[in-house]
Amino acid sequence: MHIDWAGLGEVALVSLLFGVGLAVLFAVGVTAMGRRAVALDEKRPPAMLDTAVASLCFAACLAAVLYGLYLIIPQFH
Amino acid sequence: MDLSFLVVVVIITALVFDFTNGFHDTANAMATSIATGALRPKVAVGLSAVLNLVGAFISTEVAHTISSGLVDDAKITVPIIFGGLVGAILWNLLTWYLGLPSSSSHALFGGLIGATWIAAGSGAVNFGTVVQKIIVPAVAAPIVAGVVALLGTYLAYKITARARKRSVDDGFRAGQIASASLVSLAHGTGDAQKTMGIITLVLITSGTLAQGSRPPLWVIFAAGMAIAFGTYLGGWRIIRTMGKGLTEIESPQGFAAETSSTAVLLASSHLGFPLSTTQVCSGSILGAGLGKRLAEVRWTVAGRMALAWLFTLPAAAVVGALSGRVANSGNLGVALIAVLALLAGGGLYAASRRKPVTSANVNEYPSTPAASSATASV
């Protein structure tokens, strides 16, 4: 009987990297979006930094979704 | 095309299994989105059904073995497959009635192992492979997914602590839709394909198709429709347990849980260490519950789920063994098992109607005094 502990460890590490990383990125993006929304509500121009951070975070999440689609759809391989 | 009575019955049984596979697993992808209101219940199951159907059509990889080496595939006969399917279907229906998520693949493997064991002796079962491909992943899956979801949830709350709550909730809800969709699509490519593989192998064994044939279009279509229809009906009892029963899920937790599930499932299937979708998703939800400070996790529910996982393989194996044995005696035996299985399935359905869980009350846990006594009596 052979148990592929290295394979399991690899799965755990990659999952941790992507799973936690995406949650963090999305949370940062949502926070920046929230600050923009508050600024707009108060009729202030939103900070450039917030817009940039939100766009970057969501773009990275979108890229991750596309990568997920690439992995799922066998025709891409 | 000359199909024997047995082959026709097995194909129908395989499609019924596919159907139960669909409604048993809707919860994996959609329970947290339904619980947080990211998607309305009917929209969620509809989206999941469509993605499962699409997944069924784009999956091209054909399974060449039914049991992935758990049993000696040369010893598998059509009655054994029939017995294995009956064991898996009845286990799926029983756990659905009890509102417990459990792995449809493990149920199928359990049924096949039992049926093969009785028909060809214990030597035909590769116990080492069972430990390696079922027991170890079953323990690892919820732990890995749980830790990822726990950290993700904890950090998501930490980061958004001072942000405006409405923006946070709306943002995470939108994100949930994407991750839930990915889980549904991945499910369709994996699980519908299993049924196609079984039907194709039965057709090859019976000489209807040539060795090494790919699934005919009608098989792909039938399997895709069966899993999609099952998904659309929605196993509301299981959705309620996963979305509301284990823990109260808020949208950041739902997002962290689904992101964890997606990451673990894709990593495991592409790094060659397959993990059960059901166990990954349940572990993620548990982790998301633990990751929020002071969130309540109902350990009795988690314990019942763990018990169900423990019993999946042996329970399906016993039913599979008995059904396979009787089916092996000829057409009369096959008909007898089919009728008994229909009666058992019908009985569970009738019992479920007494305290139905539908799209309307799926988010009420415990819903009514009647429903809470039902869960207490499990």
Digit-coded pLDDT (tens) for B181-191 = 999 998 888 88
Q: Is B364 part of any domain? A: no
pLDDT tens digit string along B317-363? 999 999 999 999 989 999 999 999 999 999 999 999 998 999 888 88
CB contact under 8 A, A15 and B148: yes
Kindly state whether residue B370 falls inside one of the protein's structural domains.
no
Q: What is the pLDDT at residue B377? A: 38
- Rounded CA gap, B302 and B293, in Å? 18
Task: Report, as an integer, the average pLDDT of B89-94.
Answer: 96
User: Length of chain A in residues, anyone?
Assistant: 77
- Rounded distance between C-alpha atoms, residue B297 and residue B284, angstroms: 12
What's the number of CA atoms in the CB half-sphere (13 Å) around residue B124? 18
Residue whose structure tokens are 């904890």: B154
Residue bearing tokens 């993620």? B284
Q: Give the list of residues 6+ apart from residue B47 with CB closer than 8 angstroms, or none.
A: B30, B39, B177, B180, B181, B184
Residues of A with CB under 8 A from a CB of B: 1-4, 7-8, 10-12, 14-16, 18-20, 22-24, 26-31, 33-35, 37-38, 61, 65, 68-69, 71-75
Most A CBs within 10 Å, among B258, B268, B280, B284, to test the A interface: B268
Cβ contacts of B351 within 8 Å, gap of 6 or more? B97
Token couple for B19 = 């159907």
pLDDT > 90: what percent of chain B?
70
Partners of B125 in the beta sheet?
B71
Q: Given an 8 Å threshold on Cβ–Cβ distance, is B155 in contact with A74?
A: no
Of A1, A11, A61, the CB nearest to B267: A11
Indicate whether B372 pLDDT > 70.
no
Residue from B162, B165, B264 to probe the interface with A (highest A Cβ count within 10 Å) = B264
> How would residue B312 be classed by pLDDT, with cut points 50, 70 and 90?
very high
Which residue, among B59, B36, B352, has the nearest Cα to B227 in the 3D structure? B59
Asked if residue B283 belongs to a domain, the reply is: yes
Assigned token pair, B298: 């109902």
| Residue-level pLDDT at B367 | 52
Q: How far is CA B301 from the centre of its chain?
A: 18
pLDDT at residue B64, as a whole number: 66
Enclosing domain of residue A70: 13-76
Report residue B232 as tokens: 């659309």
Q: What is the CA radius of gyration of chain B?
A: 20
Is A8 inside a domain boundary?
Answer: no
Range of weakest confidence among B85-94, B98-107, B172-181, B366-375: B366-375
Q: Residue B247 in 3-state DSSP?
A: strand
Nearest-CA distance A55 → chain B (Å): 13
pLDDT at B62: 63
Residue B303 amino acid letter: G
- Within-domain flag for B140: yes
Distance CA B220, CA A76 (A): 20
Tell me, yes or no, whether B296 lies in a domain.
yes
Read off the tokens for A31: 């926070």
Name the strand (E) or helix (H) holding A57: helix A48-72
In a domain, A3, yes or no: no
Whole-number Å distance between alpha carbons of B63 and B185: 18
Q: Alpha carbon of B157 to those of B67, B251, B289: distances in Å? A: 42, 10, 12
**Measured between alpha carbons, how far is B319 from B317 in angstroms, rounded to an integer?**
6
Q: What is the DSSP letter of B328?
A: T
- Closest to B170 in 3D by CA, of B15, B26, B38, B28: B38
Are B156 and A7 within 8 A, CB to CB?
no
Q: Please list the helix, strand and coil fractions of chain A in percent, rounded to the nearest 5, in that order.
A: 85, 0, 15
Q: DSSP label at B361?
A: T
Residue A71 lies in a domain: yes
What is the domain extent for residue B159?
5-359
Is residue B133 in some structural domain? yes
Residue B151 within any structural domain of the chain? yes
Q: Which two tokens stand for residue B189?
A: 């490519």
Structure token pair of residue B359: 């799209």
pLDDT value of position B91:
96
Output the DSSP codes for B295-326.
--B-HHHHHHHHHHHHHHHHHHHHHHHHHHHH
Would you state the pLDDT for residue B370?
A: 43
* Domains in chain A, number: 1
> Which pLDDT belongs to residue B378?
35
Query: Who among A27, A74, A75 is closest to B155 (CB)?
Result: A27
Question: Does residue A67 belong to any structural domain of this protein?
Answer: yes
Q: What are phi and psi of B71, to 5 degrees?
A: -125, 165
The number of distinct structural domains making up chain B is: 1
Residue B313's nearest CA partner among B27, B67, B9 is B67
**What's the pLDDT score for residue B374?**
43
